[in-house]
């Protein structure tokens, strides 16, 4: 049985944004800190560190989940996707990201990566998602700048655009 | 806000989990989805010497319909039960209650058995298990035993589980024909800890009301059916029986009033949706 002792770092292997990675981590390290400190992916933000604010939300095996409530060691063998993977190519935004820009869905941007990862999963899992579904999934996130009206408007617009098929090749 | 140091074990089998528990006793803590335990680690409220990762034991992530009961294995995540196609028909109370547990993002990892083991006084799953008269199936290297929910919850985040035992599964009685189920909750924000949560069941034999968030453990009461003039007095009696307290979120008086009002509302709703 794999045994990760407390006094040293251990190799953790998983899939990150489509490529296999192996990285050293202590048993007590959080996935949020592994992503930011060891892998340099600072798009995943850290707010409350007890699962309330949603800023650190990433996709684990396709489902949105809190990176701050996941130990790095639990990522072994998992498929992790972070906000860095949303844009189809450098200099080009995804449909969802572009809708946030057009609808002023962010101001300071601190909560945005987590919200994008939840909504990206929602629109992939349920392309027919409507405003009540979007609000339900957003209930796991806190934004203290814009309020939620523009965020909801951006998500509704992105859902419509994706359904219309213009986003078929880009994903959400 | 970082976890203390611990050794991390990743067993492949239930037997390895039980061996590890037998060896380390109370120094070892089982990690399910981590949605309650990891915050406690981050806040240093829990300082285990050994953490045993059970979420990857996918062989235990089984929902089994046994006719009279639905058996939910250790590895079943809340989202898996939420999306079980037979849920609205077989466990209508859970179909109504699960959307109140945390958020989509926490139900993706949080397990059903983990929530029962954690025994938070405001949690929805212990409440539903108690309301329905379910059982907790415990296993250690020594033996297995089944405890009714009303003997399992011992106090605030405290249960009858021995240090070398794990919850192998929990069983919820399936809804019999002719019963109605309803669930309501009041919290500061959807997904926050319940200030009060109530489950109501109305069937041919009468009404059952279970309440979480008010006392140290979820509590269950038999009540007159809605329409009976004795119901309001009975609800008032329950409100005073529960050990309601003032805290940051609500006063004891407010909680007692929630028991009366939500209690009446869930029983009326349950009576109206009897199938």
Output the CA–CA distances (angstroms, integers) from residue B235 to A160, B260, B262, in the order listed: 48, 5, 10
Parallel, antiparallel, or unpaired: how do β-strands A10-16 and A79-81 relate?
parallel
Residues in chain B: 275
The answer to whether residue A158 scores a pLDDT higher than 90 is: yes
d(CA A134, CA A79): 24
**For the domain that residue B207 is a member of, what is the CATH number?**
3.30.390.50
pLDDT-derived band at A57, boundaries 50, 70, 90 = very high
Residue B237 lies in a domain: yes
- Closest A-chain CA to B102: A140
Q: Does A78 touch chain B (CB under 8 A)?
A: no
Question: A9-85 has which CATH code?
Answer: 3.10.20.30
Q: Which of B150, B120, B135, B147 is nearest to B210 (CA)?
A: B150
The pLDDT score that the predictor gives to residue A42 is 98
**Residues B185 and B165 grouped into a single domain:** no
Do residue B10 and residue A139 have CB atoms under 8 angstroms apart?
A: no
The pLDDT score that the predictor gives to residue B139 is 98
Residue B2 lies in a domain: no
Residue B1 lies in a domain: no
**Residues B41 and B70 grouped into a single domain:** no
Do residue A139 and residue B39 have CB atoms under 8 angstroms apart?
A: no
CA distance A2 to chain B (A): 5
DSSP 8-state secondary structure symbol assigned to residue B175: P
CA distance A117 to chain B (A): 10
The pLDDT score that the predictor gives to residue A130 is 96
On average, the pLDDT of chain A sits at 95
**Residues B145 and B67 grouped into a single domain:** yes
Q: Which of B105, B132, B101 is nearest to B114 (CA)?
A: B101
Domain regions of chain A by residue span:
9-85, 95-164
What the block records as the tokens of B24 is: 């380390």
The pLDDT score that the predictor gives to residue A90 is 92
Mean of the pLDDT values across residues A6-22?
Answer: 97
What the block records as the tokens of A71 is: 């130990």
Do residue B42 and residue A50 have CB atoms under 8 angstroms apart?
A: yes
The pLDDT score that the predictor gives to residue B25 is 85
The pLDDT score that the predictor gives to residue A166 is 57
Sign of CA dihedral B222, B225, B229, B233: positive
pLDDT (tens digit, 9 = 90+) per residue, A85-129? 999 999 999 999 999 999 999 999 999 999 999 999 999 999 999
Residue B256 lies in a domain: yes
**Residues B161 and B69 grouped into a single domain:** yes
> Crossing angle of helices A112-125/A149-163, nearest 10°?
30
- Closest A-chain CA to B44: A50
Residue B46 lies in a domain: yes
Nearby residues of B92 by Cβ (< 8 Å), 6 or more positions away: B175, B181, B273, B275
What the block records as the tokens of A135 is: 């609000």
Residue B75 lies in a domain: yes
Q: Which of A121, A34, A41 is nearest to B108 (CA)?
A: A121
The pLDDT score that the predictor gives to residue A172 is 53
Domain final residue, candidates B173, B204, B232: B173
Mean of the pLDDT values across residues A58-82?
Answer: 98
Mutation choice for A interface testing from B104, B190, B192 by most A CBs within 10 A: B104
pLDDT-derived band at A171, boundaries 50, 70, 90 = low
Enclosing domain of residue B268:
180-272
End-to-end CA distance of chain A: 40
Chain B residues touching A118 at Cβ < 8 A: 104-105
pLDDT (tens digit, 9 = 90+) per residue, B201-230? 999 989 999 999 999 999 999 999 888 899
d(CA A164, CA A172): 12
Of A50, A64, A73, which is closest to B108 when you measure between CB atoms? Answer: A64
Q: Does A137 touch chain B (CB under 8 A)?
A: yes
Q: Are B108 and A122 in contact (CB under 8 A)?
A: no
What the block records as the tokens of B7 is: 């050794």
Q: Does A132 touch chain B (CB under 8 A)?
A: no
Q: Are A154 and A103 in contact (CB under 8 A)?
A: yes
Query: What residues in chain B have per-residue pLDDT under 50?
Result: none
**Residues B43 and B64 grouped into a single domain:** no
d(CA A106, CA A114): 12
**For the domain that residue B18 is a member of, what is the CATH number?**
3.30.43.10
Report the predicted TM-score, pTM, of the whole model to 2 decimal places: 0.95
The pLDDT score that the predictor gives to residue B205 is 85
The pLDDT score that the predictor gives to residue A146 is 83
Mutation choice for B interface testing from A3, A69, A134 by most B CBs within 10 A: A69
Secondary structure class of B57 (helix, strand, coil):
coil
The pLDDT score that the predictor gives to residue B218 is 97
The number of beta carbons lying within 10 Å of the beta carbon of residue A73 is 24
What the block records as the tokens of A62 is: 């396709």
d(CA B133, CA B17): 28
CA distance A56 to chain B (A): 11
Report the C-alpha dihedral over residues B67, B84, B33, A152, rounded to 10 degrees: -150
**Residues B259 and B213 grouped into a single domain:** yes
Secondary structure class of A126 (helix, strand, coil):
coil
Q: Which of A59, A28, A92, A87 is nearest to B7 (CA)?
A: A28
Chain A residues touching B79 at Cβ < 8 A: 63
Residue B243 lies in a domain: yes
- Closest A-chain CA to B55: A74
Secondary structure class of B259 (helix, strand, coil):
helix
Residue B44 lies in a domain: yes
Architecture of domain A95-164: Orthogonal Bundle (1.10)
**Residues B67 and B169 grouped into a single domain:** yes
Q: Which of B32, B28, B33 is nearest to B50 (CA)?
A: B28
> Looking at the 3D structure of chain B, how many domains does it have?
3
Nearby residues of B55 by Cβ (< 8 Å), 6 or more positions away: A74, B31, B32, B33, B34, B75, B109, B111
Q: Are A157 and A103 in contact (CB under 8 A)?
A: yes
The pLDDT score that the predictor gives to residue B228 is 87
CA distance B1 to chain A (A): 7
**Residues B91 and B106 grouped into a single domain:** yes
b/e sequence A98-131, b meaning 16+ C-beta within 10 Å: bbbeebebbeeebbbbbbbbbbbbbbeeeeebee
């Amino acid at each position: 049985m794999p045994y990760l002792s407390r006094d040293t770092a251990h190799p953790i292997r998983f899939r990150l944004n489509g490529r296999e990675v192996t990285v050293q981590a202590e048993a007590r390290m959080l996935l949020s800190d592994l992503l930011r400190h060891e892998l340099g992916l600072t798009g995943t933000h850290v707010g409350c560190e007890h699962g309330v604010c949603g800023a650190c939300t990433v996709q684990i095996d396709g489902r949105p989940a809190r990176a701050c409530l996941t130990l790095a060691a639990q990522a072994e063998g998992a498929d992790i996707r972070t906000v860095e993977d949303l844009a189809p190519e450098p200099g080009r935004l995804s449909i969802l990201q572009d809708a946030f820009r057009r609808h002023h869905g962010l101001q300071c941007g601190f909560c945005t990566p987590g919200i994008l990862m939840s909504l990206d999963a929602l629109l992939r899992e349920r392309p027919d998602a409507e405003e009540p579904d979007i609000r339900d999934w957003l209930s796991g996130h806190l934004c203290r700048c814009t309020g939620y009206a523009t965020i909801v408007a951006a998500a509704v617009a992105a859902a419509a655009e994706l359904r219309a098929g213009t986003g078929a090749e880009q994903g959400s | 806000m970082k976890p203390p140091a611990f050794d991390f074990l990743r067993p492949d089998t239930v037997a390895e989990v039980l061996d590890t528990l037998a060896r380390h006793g109370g120094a070892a803590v089982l990690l399910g989805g981590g949605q309650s335990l990891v915050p406690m680690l981050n806040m240093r409220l829990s300082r285990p010497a050994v953490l045993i990762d059970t979420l990857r034991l996918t062989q235990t992530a089984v929902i089994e319909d046994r006719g009279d009961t639905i058996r939910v294995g250790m590895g079943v995540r809340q989202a898996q039960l939420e999306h079980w196609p037979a849920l609205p028909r077989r466990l209508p109370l859970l179909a109504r209650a699960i959307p109140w547990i945390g958020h989509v993002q926490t139900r993706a990892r949080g397990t059903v058995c983990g929530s029962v083991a954690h025994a938070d006084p405001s949690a929805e799953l212990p409440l539903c298990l108690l309301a329905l008269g379910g059982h907790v199936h415990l296993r250690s290297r020594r033996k297995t035993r089944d405890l009714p929910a009303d003997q399992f919850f011992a106090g605030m985040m405290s249960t009858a589980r021995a240090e070398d035992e794990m919850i192998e599964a929990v069983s919820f009685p399936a809804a019999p024909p002719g019963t109605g189920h309803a669930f309501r909750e009041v919290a500061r924000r959807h997904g926050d800890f319940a200030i009060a949560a109530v489950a109501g069941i109305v069937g041919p034999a009468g009404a059952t009301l279970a309440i979480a968030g008010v006392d140290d453990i979820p509590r269950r009461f038999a009540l007159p059916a809605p329409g009976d003039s004795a119901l309001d007095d009975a609800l008032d009696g329950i409100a005073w029986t529960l050990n309601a307290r003032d805290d940051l979120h609500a006063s004891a008086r407010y909680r007692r009033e929630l028991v009366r009002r939500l209690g009446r509302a869930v029983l009326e709703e349950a009576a109206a949706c009897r199938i």
